[in-house]
Amino acid sequence: MSEPLERADVAIVGGGMAGASLALMLAHFCPQLRVVLLEQRALPDAAASVLLPSFDTRATAIAAGSLQLFQQLGLWPALRAYSAPIQRIQVSDRGQAFGACLSAGEQPWACFEGMLGAVIENAALGPILHTALADTPVKPIAPAQVTTVRMGAEGATLHWRAGEGGAEHRLTAGLLVVADGVDSPLCRQLGIEIDTVKYQQQALVTTVGLQRHHRGVAFERFTAAGPMALLPLPQRDGLYRAALVWACGQEDAEALSALPERERLQQVQRAFGWRAGRFVRMGSLQAYPLSLSLAREQWRRNVALIGNCAHFLHPVAGQGFNLTLRDCYGLAQAMAGERPAQGSSSQLEMLAAYGRGRRLDQRLTIGFSHRIPALFTASNPLLRSVRQMGMLGLTLVPPLRTEFVRQAAGFGL
Ligand SMILES: Cc1cc2nc3c(=O)[nH]c(=O)nc-3n(C[C@H](O)[C@H](O)[C@H](O)COP(=O)(O)OP(=O)(O)OC[C@H]3O[C@@H](n4cnc5c(N)ncnc54)[C@H](O)[C@@H]3O)c2cc1C
């Protein structure tokens, strides 16, 4: 037997990094809206005892532009306490002496509080977002698994359950925001097609202990097996730390994962080189299959898509969440001051304007995230020369440096 129908202006399905960020932006910029957030798992608490998929052992590089957005939401003091600043970005090719270095000092316009960005562990980011959300009028419902969605004259009607065999509840919203992650079941239900290119690579993710302080340097290193990012992390228990993301082929990933810690450490050190000094420890490895996926529609009548279900990018350039934050900001700005009636022409105009406003940034960012690893993975001698020329260009040509930093720091548009 269904419960009585509950109503909301906006129902966000998925309380990961995308859904939680959008909920915070709507609370801040659109206080007139009744917003409900449904998440199938228990929400992370302040003690971070519960982990959502977004808030696992990964760390996220948050670009200066995104830090500015978090500052507007009043979240920067909480984030600062758990993050390490990025002062410099070093891009280099293993086996080549030559590399490019971009520093906060020479690009002050691309900085937030003197940094190009900051790195925060997802296990800290989750509780910060959800603790902040608890102070807003947004209504979180968790655990709440949305099982079916029906579109009708009233908007989207969602059916959800708190768990297997639990009672079914219903909720109707003028706007359904799908934020249920990559390979989205809700997109499938809605018949929204997603184009996917599989990279035939896995991202191996771990935390590395360093013998010396990272001095705020984020490394983009291109190795024979695939691109690597080494991101500064805050010191913990007296240990200097960095987050490692290494995109490599399935066989390399399996072989590395099977090694005992000491040999794994040596192999990663050999592949990365010595630019960050000696690696002294290494956490367990987690593997994420890599693909580029892009939804063919990011909005339609009564529906918008946010986060991994809208676009899932190669992680080495650290752009996915930053792009999502800019999407969230764009959607919140489009809805500010409005309470669009479900399916009305003004709602459609609002969504269309949102889509138009996000198109160029998405195209540039997705292109940047797709091309950089492809170029740097190539062993073809011609492409090797092209990337060495690219590195030389980054070093010697100020407009190229500016463009690279603009994109990396999230000030693309
Ligand atoms: C290895 C790696 C490293 C990365 N590093 C960076 C980086 O440095 N910088 C950067 O900008 N980006 C980075 N990213 C990208 C970033 O992680 C994503 O942008 C982010 O995870 C987006 O999360 P999401 O909320 O869209 O999806 P998810 O984290 O998958 O969240 C979806 C949520 O929806 C819930 N859900 C699913 N189905 C239902 C349902 N039916 N009912 C209710 N709830 C449901 C799930 O439980 C989950 O909590 C990285 C990605 C990877 C893979």
Reading the chain (413 residues) residue by residue, the pLDDT tens digits are 445 569 999 999 999 999 999 999 999 999 999 999 999 999 876 555 444 445 557 899 999 999 999 999 999 999 999 999 999 988 887 666 666 788 888 878 789 999 999 999 998 999 999 999 999 999 999 999 999 999 998 899 999 999 777 889 999 999 999 999 999 999 999 999 999 998 888 999 999 999 999 999 999 888 878 889 999 999 988 899 999 999 989 898 899 989 998 999 999 999 999 999 999 999 888 999 999 999 999 999 999 999 999 999 988 778 999 999 999 999 999 999 666 555 567 889 999 999 999 999 999 999 888 877 666 555 555 555 555 555 555 555 566 666 666 666 666 54
- For the Cβ of 19 lying below 6 angstroms from any atom of ligand 1, the answer is yes
Choose which residue among 12, 41, 54 to substitute to test ligand 1 binding: the one with the highest number of ligand atoms within 8 A of its C-beta: 54
Distance 309 CA to ligand 1 centre (A): 9
Residue 412 CB burial class (10 angstroms; 0-12, 13-18, ≥19): buried
The protein residue whose alpha carbon is closest to atom 9 in ligand 1 is: 318
- In the Cβ-directed half-sphere of 161, how many Cα atoms lie within 13 Å? 9
Query: Which value, in Å, is the radius of gyration of the alpha carbons in the chain?
Result: 22
Distance 308 CA to ligand 1 centre (A): 6
Compute the distance between CA of residue 24 and CA of residue 179 in angstroms, rounded to an integer: 14
pLDDT, residue 92, reads 80
- For the Cβ of 202 lying below 6 angstroms from any atom of ligand 1, the answer is no
Atom of ligand 1 nearest to the CA of 119: 8
pLDDT, residue 163, reads 77
- For the Cβ of 181 lying below 6 angstroms from any atom of ligand 1, the answer is yes
pLDDT, residue 102, reads 82
- For the Cβ of 365 lying below 6 angstroms from any atom of ligand 1, the answer is no
Atom of ligand 1 nearest to the CA of 63: 11
Domains of the chain (ranges plus CATH)?
Answer: 6-59+123-196+291-371 (3.50.50.60)
In 3-state terms, the chain is what percent helix, strand and coil (to 5)?
A: 40, 35, 30
- For the Cβ of 347 lying below 6 angstroms from any atom of ligand 1, the answer is no
Distance 54 CA to ligand 1 centre (A): 5
Atom of ligand 1 nearest to the CA of 52: 49
- For the Cβ of 70 lying below 6 angstroms from any atom of ligand 1, the answer is no
Question: Are the C-beta atoms of 170 and 85 separated by less than 8 Å?
Answer: no
Question: Are the C-beta atoms of 374 and 382 separated by less than 8 Å?
Answer: no
Listed residue (154, 190, 146) closest to 175, CA to CA? 154
Joined together, the tokens standing for residue 366 give 């997705």
Q: What one-letter code names the amino acid at 265?
A: L
CA angle (341, 345, 350) in 5-degree steps: 80
pLDDT, residue 53, reads 45
Q: What one-letter code names the amino acid at 3?
A: E
Question: Are the C-beta atoms of 88 and 101 separated by less than 8 Å?
Answer: yes
- For the Cβ of 203 lying below 6 angstroms from any atom of ligand 1, the answer is yes
Question: Are the C-beta atoms of 362 and 306 separated by less than 8 Å?
Answer: no
Compute the distance between CA of residue 35 and CA of residue 150 in angstroms, rounded to an integer: 19
pLDDT, residue 339, reads 63
CA angle (243, 326, 90) in 5-degree steps: 35
Give the 3-state secondary structure of residue 394. Answer: helix
Distance 97 CA to ligand 1 centre (A): 36
